[in-house]
Structure formats: structure tokens, C-alpha cells
Structure 1
């Protein structure tokens, strides 16, 4: 269920979302479109991304711009950020959402696996921010929202390369906030708990595991991708004008 709140300053805003074609990212793409923003989203999977853009256009009469990009290719990432700005004006909201939470055992990790994991889960956050920062400065400010995860806070045992990247995102968030703050560019992080996307359902969700997890939340509802949208809209809007260098945990009170 999309949030009912309306943020007037987001209407017409130029928004760029990474990993915006499925899961949480798709909910964010739709959420910003429903605010009247001009949305470009980066993804590597054509089928769900095109289907999402088609559905939004049918429902809203406006279409988000899908930019097929492999985030591991930094030059391609920079080119896509430039295309978003060319289409919609300087990007003033960046949501670094893309991630790949592949499970892995410590003994199986190779140098190549490690580097590829970081190239998806950490490195693009910096280079996408680097790409849009000059436009945000020209616009007089902006908001960068980095998705991390509560996985590194709960000592998750099955994905150490991923949790290392997610912890690194918090350090990156704080460093960028300090550097870009004088230009009125805010940089914050969101740490979701267990959000039940289609990928989660297909790979890891069991009825027993989900029930046990939800039982430890203060709010005992299953979290869906739409539940991330309101927090991101708040951080993107001028309602959070003086909020920067922070991490907001959205986990139903699990922690």
C-alpha cells in the first residue's frame, strides 16, 4: 500500500533510482511517480523493468525512464546518470537502492567473488553520487539516499561479503554528508529489515521462518516493498531539510 502523504516539493523533481525495476526499487519508482516526480531508474533486467514502466504509464499516463545498465560498469553508470539529467533536468534526488544479497560461505569466497560483490553492493553508491553531485550543486541542493541493511547489525552468518558492503555504505553516507553538506546536499541511509519481495519468496522465505521473524518485531506485520516508500519520500523532500548523515532503521522494531 503506497503512503497517503503528499510532498509538494517532489512534484516535477528529477529522481534517479538504482535497481528500480523490481522489489523495493520498483515500489520506489512507483512511489515517486505518484508524487508527480520525473523518474529515471537503472536496472539490468529488461523484462520486469519494461513491465513496470508499462504498468505505471497505463495507470498514471506518464512513464518512468528505464536505463538498462550494469552497475559494475562505471562508465555505463555515468552515462546513464547523464541521460537521466538530459531527460529530466539535473538530478536532485538519488536513491542508491540496487543490491545483490547472494548467500555465500566463508570458505567458498574467492577474490573474484569478493570483488564482484563489492562492485554491485558498494562501489556504485559512490560513483552514482559522484555523477549527480555537480547537478545537485547547480540546483542549489539535493538528497542522496543510500540503502544499507540491518543484516550487518544482526550478525547475519550467511553473507559476509554483502554485510561488509552494507556496513561500508554507512561510512560512505557519513563521509559524503560531511563533504556535500555545505552545498545543501543531504546524504542519509535507510536500513530495512526483512522486506518480503518476490526474490525473497522464491529463495528464502518459509512460513516458519517468516512467522518467527515477525514475532520478534514490535509491529507484527509482514513488511512489503511499499513499506519503504514513505521513509524514502520523507528523506527526499524538504520535510527533512536539516536531516543528514543519519541511518534510519525500518524494520518494524525488530532491533
Structure 2
């Protein structure tokens, strides 16, 4: 089990002040890592960092920067590097969703989804990679979605960005794995979070999720903990360029 121990490791999880990101940060902290909690508002990020530290006993660091801004990403990563050094683990979790009929989907919403869901992972990875390369090791974990492989009406741009995450992961694998850096992705299925609560409360939609998912239920954010710890640990040192679907079997059946 020592292969899964993250004691002495540092991690940056973008978009980790709530929901799936918070669960990922908590799981890494439980495995022994020091975790940088990231978000958009100082108060929320500091509150989450304190909660994780109190729940796990791990050291945490609250940090805020705009993941779509090249300059803010550079400044934020430098701030973290000055504090802990280059993180051993980067989890690109920041993301958003917008829904609309495709023929009426606003261009500005398409561009915002691209920036938040895909460009951010490129920018933060690019900012962290040189330090990982210099050290000769690192773990980058991108968060995709079941929509990385499957599409539904009204979320075409979202699906495109999450499909892009899979190919970004493979591209980073080609560039960075020879340098000792493993790059993988986690693609969650339908998870019950604050952001999906309206869908969870929709009886018809929840019934569809249960019927479409072999496991027969919505995912719980805790279901992602094992996957992120595995991909962040020595146990996955010969795994790179892969996407792990944590979806209750949804992508395996028709």
C-alpha cells in the first residue's frame, strides 16, 4: 500500500473550493499530500482549505487566480512554487457548463466554455511543466467527463471541450512522459453535486440516469477519491496518456 502513499507530495487542484474539486483535494489530503485549494473567491477558497485541513490533518494552501488568464496563471503558479516548490501533482479540474439549443448557442458562451474547460488546462499545465521537467517527475491529471465520449442534446460545446481534454491528455503524454511526467485523465459520469442538484431533483432525469447507468445510481463525489489517488501515486508510474472513466459503467453499454 505504500505505493499509494502521498506523504511529502504537494498538489494543486484547480476549481477545488466545492463539488468534485473539493472531493479530489480531500482525497489527496487523506492520502498524505499537502494540497493547494484553488478557486475564484478568496473567502470560499480559504474556508474550504480550512475544512480540508481540519478533516484530514493535512497542510493546505489557499490560492486564487483566473485559470483563463495567462498572466494570472503564471503569477499564481509562481506564488505556489515560492511557497512549496513546483507541485508534484496537478489536477486540472476547473470547468463549467452551459446549455442551449445548438442553433441558438451564443458564440460568447462557446468561447467561454473553451477557455474555462480546455484552455485553462493547457495554461496551468504549461506553467507547471518546466518545474516538473527540471525535477524529473510529476503527475498531471485532467478532469474530463462522460461527455468526452458521449454526446447529449443542448451541450455540444461542452462535449467538444471535454473531448478536447482527452486529446490534450494524449498530447501532453507524448511531450512530457519522456521527461518522467505521467499525464492522465479522469472522466466522471453523472455525479450528484451542488451544481447538478436541479438535475438530481428532476425525477424524470434521475430515472434516466439510473436506467442508463449499469451501477443504477448517480455517482457520489467520494467515488472519485480512489481514482485520483491512484493516478497521483507511484502505483501509476507506468500509466500515461489514459482516460479513466468513473461512470458506473455508462460508457460501456448501449
The TM-score, its normalising length taken from structure 1, stands at 0.91
Consecutive aligned runs of 4 or more in structure 1 exceeding 6 Å deviation: none
Query: Is 1:169 aligned with 2:162?
Result: no
SS of the residue corresponding to residue 122 of structure 1 reads helix
Between the aligned partners of 1:59 and 1:189, the Cα distance in structure 2 is 26
Supply the RMSD in Å over aligned alpha carbons. Answer: 1.8
Deviation at 1:116, TM superposition (A): 1.5
* Partner of residue 190, structure 1: 186
Q: Determine the structure 1 residue equivalent to 2:19.
A: 23
Q: 1:174-222 CA deviation, whole Å, 9 max, x = no partner?
A: 1110011110111111111001111100466413322331233222243
**Match for 2:229 among 216, 230, 233?**
233
Counterpart residue number, 1:14 = 10
Alignment match, 1:55: 51
> 1: CA distance between counterparts of 2:96 and 2:119?
13
Instruction: Mark the CA change 1:216 to 1:203 in structure 2 (over 3 Å): closer, same or farther.
Output: closer
C-alpha offsets along residues 29-73 of structure 1, whole Å, 9 cap, x if unaligned? 111111221111221134442322222233344442121122121
Give the equivalent residue in structure 2 for 1:213: 209
Matched, 1:70 2:63: no
Partner-residue secondary structure (3-state), 1:218: coil
In structure 2, how many angstroms separate the alpha carbons of the residues matched to 1:146 and 1:166? 10
Structure 1 residues 82 and 154, CA gap change in structure 2 (3 angstroms)? same
SS class of match (1:235)? helix
Measured against aligned partners, the alpha-carbon deviations of 1:5-25 in whole angstroms (never above 9, x if no partner) come to 775541111111111111110
Q: Which residue of 2 aligns with 1:108?
A: 104
Contact 2:10/2:89 (<8 A) preserved: yes
> Across the two proteins, how many residue pairs are aligned to each other?
251
In 2, Cα distance between the equivalents of 1:8 and 1:192?
Answer: 21
CA distance in 2, matches of 1:84, 1:203: 36
Q: In structure 2, how many angstroms separate the alpha carbons of the residues matched to 1:65 and 1:95?
A: 15
> Which residue of 1 is the match for residue 120 of structure 2?
124
**Structure 2 CA distance for partners of 1:62 and 1:245, relative to 1, 3 Å:** closer
SS in 1 for 2:184: strand
Query: 1:92 touches 1:135 (CA, 8 Å); kept in 2?
Result: no
Whether 1:149 aligns to 2:173 is no
SS in structure 2 of the partner of residue 198 of structure 1: coil
Distance 2:85 2:250 in 1: 39
Equivalent of residue 244 in structure 1, options 213, 219, 240: 240
Going from structure 1 to structure 2, the CA distance change for 1:36 and 1:213 (only over 3 Å counts) comes to same
TM-score (norm 2): 0.92
Please give the alpha-carbon distance, in whole angstroms, between the structure 2 residues aligned to 1:203 and 1:237: 34
Rounded Cα–Cα distance in structure 1 between residues aligned with 2:223 and 2:84 = 27
User: Residues 111 and 102 of structure 1: is their aligned pair in 2 closer, same or farther, counting only changes over 3 Å?
Assistant: closer
2:196 aligns to what?
200
**Structure 2 gap segments, 5+ residues each:** none
